[in-house]
Structure 1
Amino acid sequence: MSDLAPLVIAAAKARGLMIATAESCTGGMIAAALTDIAGSSAVFERGFVTYSNAAKTEMLGVPAETIAQYGAVSEEVASAMAAGALAHSRAAIAVSVTGIAGPGGSEHKPEGRVCFGLARTGAPPQTWTCEYGAIGRGLVRHHTREHALSLILTSVK
């Protein structure tokens, strides 16, 4: 259970904002945290779990060329995922995550790297990258979920 999820739901309700999520490395954990809260249906519009590159392209409209050029774990793809979630939903705000939870990674894309995107109606998407390091798959996913929720909360306040 996330301590931030109830705050996100309350803030979104207070402002009448619908939320969408686009998740890769978390596999739906952000959506699950939000929908764990009673009454979340008033503000949670939908979630996309786009684990594969094909799903990112087919469900969110992320250009295959963007994935080929920058890699799935990039701010460019996170931005396109957030924008795609906004465009393919009735939400006013969308958060996206794509990363390497581990184990594994490479010299250029290390384990624990997660890229975040945040899109709001009428504004260009924003992106961030967090380097959690090789702290284990579960912890990377946990920190990713919490950071994504904090991005939504900050944006709706």
Structure 2
Amino acid sequence: MRPVEEGERLAFRLAKDVLQAADITGVSLVTAESCTGGYIASLLAGVEGLSHQYEGGVVVYSDQTKIALLGISPEALSRHGSVSREIVSEMAVRIRGLTSAQLALAVSGNTGPRGEAENGRVHIAVADTSGIQHRYYELGDVDRYEGRWLVAIQALDMLLQALTATERQASRREAGVLKQDVG
């Protein structure tokens, strides 16, 4: 099996695991993608029997689309650049706020040769009610196709970890280990 095929299969397995965990926890998901161009949405929507946990997503490839659809400020884009912790975190928060999803994923990066040293630089953020998690990756010299599934694997793994933490917390709460603050 070619490495690309193995990577794509892993990405699909992770998408299925993510949606199974989302189904168990009752958490719905939403995505905002830049460098993956909708690949993560396609993976999540393609899982038969579990895709109902995925509300949908947007592809915000250009800065203008990030501004128009997500309300990212032009000043923030100018200050930080579209491939940054600040912008990807804002993307996750904004797409979550536009939907009823409890968990949002956002990805932004550079994949494929652009004649610049930043090929393979990727930021991923997950936003939920407790805040934002962020990860930064240097994938190295990748082509656009390879970069899409490499980023998808990292992003889906991050979602799975967030959902697993949610599941553990819910189990502990049910067992009386965690107390909920009821006002």
Gaps of 5+ in 2: 1-8, 165-183
- Within the candidate set 114, 119, 129, 1:111 is matched to 119
Runs of 4+ in structure 1 off by over 6 angstroms are: none
Which position in structure 2 is the counterpart of 1:65? 75
Q: Could you tell me the TM-score, scaled by structure 2's length? A: 0.81
Q: Which amino acid aligns with 2:68?
A: E
Q: Which amino acid aligns with 1:30?
A: I
Which whole-Å CA distance do the structure 2 matches of 1:41 and 1:149 have between them?
A: 14
- Within the candidate set 142, 154, 157, 1:135 is matched to 142
**Cα deviations by residue, 1:60-114 (Å, 9 ceiling, x for unpaired):** 121211110010011110000000110011100001000101211534xx10101
For the pair shown, the structure with the greater C-alpha radius of gyration is 2
Are 1:18 and 2:28 counterparts?
yes
CA contact (8 A) 1:35 1:41 kept: yes
Q: Which amino acid aligns with 2:120?
A: G
Which position in structure 2 is the counterpart of 1:153? 160
Which position in structure 2 is the counterpart of 1:90? 100
- 1:3 counterpart SS class: helix
> More displaced, 20-29 or 35-44?
35-44
Cα pair distance change 1:62/1:105, threshold 3 Å: farther
Q: Which amino acid aligns with 1:66?
A: A
Q: Could you tell me the TM-score, scaled by structure 1's length? A: 0.93
Tell me the matched-pair count. 154
Gaps of 5+ in 1: none
The percentage of counterpart residues that share the same residue type is 35
